[in-house]
Amino acid sequence: MKRVQRLSWLVAASFALTSIGAGMHDAGAQAKTLKIGFLYPVTGVFAAPGKYMQEGLELYLKEHNNTLGGMKVEVDVADDQGNPSIGLTQLRKLVEQDHVDVVFGPLSAAVGAAIVPYIEQHKVPAVYPIVSSDDLTQRTPNPFLLRASATSSQACHPMGHYAATELKYKRAFCITEDFAFGYEQMGGFQAAFAKDGGCVVNKLWPPLVTPDYTPYIAQIADCDVVCQGFAGSNPLRFMKAYASAGLKYPVVTGETGGDDALLKSYGDEAIGLVGCCPYTLDLETEANHRFIDGMLKNYDSIPGQYAALLYVNCQVVDAGLKAAGGDASDKEKFMGALKAVSLTNTPRGPLKFDHLNNVIGTFYIRRIGTEGAKYGLKVWNKTIKTYENVSQFWDWPEQEYLAHPVYSRDYPPLKKC
């Protein structure tokens, strides 16, 4: 297990798992300091998107002279390796030994769920920039947890609506990994798709680590659209296998299946893929252009949502700290200030929070094609519709939504089409 190590952002050009000189730490400590515990996967199967998270956080601090809300920042890095038990152990060290003021992370939903009881018990302000498990801000909310990204189903609700109402699909076949993120994505798509007249004919759940999707793809039939919810590098593997199998059903996806960070690896197999995401590379705003330019200049990296959402979470904490007078010591007051944040100038567009501490923001329907491609990319996500002020409850009344079970492998159930 990696030990927690302190980094001085006054001199760090990038994250590392080696410590930086104590002399620099002492110099930074002379100003009022905010201590961030950054819990994310430095090693393990989630290390690649973890690196994007790191870059988003680091970029914002570089651009703001290593300050948030007028406070100098120290970052304690903890490698959770995508493992719940390791993540909980690392969080305890961040809180009990390093005395961090706020926790950023993690990435893995399993780690995110494992640390929730500790966060609430110890009243640790935590911002979840990636973890999307629906119930964390629904049936089991935590007063010390704020999410500025999305729930697992939040992007798939508008995707289901768009597929039914504008693409005019009637019969969908769903396929994604066999874990909670996949269940909640497909549940959200199915519920919204059915609400607008569509029907899901079947759902397949390949294991998270599947060497070959061909046996699953061979079962896809009797539909007019396929909805895939793969994450990490699996969307690329699935789309290549899908194209190789010669299937012609159009494909739609949620926030991870068409993530902009995948564009450099996608080719013709992705052309026509329609997805919904809380961040889009083609958003023509000053805030997004500045963010993209910073990512290209500092990391030669074309960003997707992993980097963008960390950057946005920094903006939220920056604004919340300013509202709290640059004081994070009163945890309840600090959390209250974070929950009240409303921003218009983020790379993902405007956002605010509901009373359960989940984001209400803009979501983008995009189609992958070759038109308008930039940054040396062969394919490009072009926004074709924008949904504003998207709630985690979509257009259902909150109490009606919460009266149903959380989306799962078996809910919503399949019905005869």
Cα separation, 299 vs 80, in Å, equals 23
**pLDDT lower than 50: segments of the chain:** 1-30
Instruction: Say what the pLDDT of residue 208 is.
Output: 87
Cα separation, 128 vs 406, in Å, equals 19
Instruction: Say what the pLDDT of residue 31 is.
Output: 52
Task: Count CA within 13 A, CB hemisphere, residue 246.
Answer: 0
Instruction: Say what the pLDDT of residue 26 is.
Output: 38
Cα separation, 256 vs 231, in Å, equals 5
Cα separation, 189 vs 78, in Å, equals 34
* Ranges of CATH 3.40.50.2300 domains, the chain: 5-124+284-347, 156-282+362-402
Instruction: Say what the pLDDT of residue 330 is.
Output: 95
From the list 286, 353, 276, the residue with the least C-alpha distance to 313 is 353
Q: What percent of the chain has pLDDT over 90?
A: 88
- Domain 156-282+362-402, what architecture? 3-Layer(aba) Sandwich (3.40)
- Cβ neighbours of 116 (radius 10 Å): 21
Cα separation, 348 vs 308, in Å, equals 7
Cα separation, 197 vs 327, in Å, equals 51
Instruction: Say what the pLDDT of residue 232 is.
Output: 85
Instruction: Say what the pLDDT of residue 48 is.
Output: 86
Instruction: Say what the pLDDT of residue 46 is.
Output: 83
Asked if residue 341 lies in contact with residue 361, where contact means CB atoms within 8 angstroms, the answer is no
| Confidence (pTM) | 0.92
| Three-state DSSP state, 251 | strand
Query: For residue 411, which amino acid is it?
Result: Y
CATH number of 5-124+284-347: 3.40.50.2300
CA quadruple 177, 180, 185, 187: dihedral sign: positive
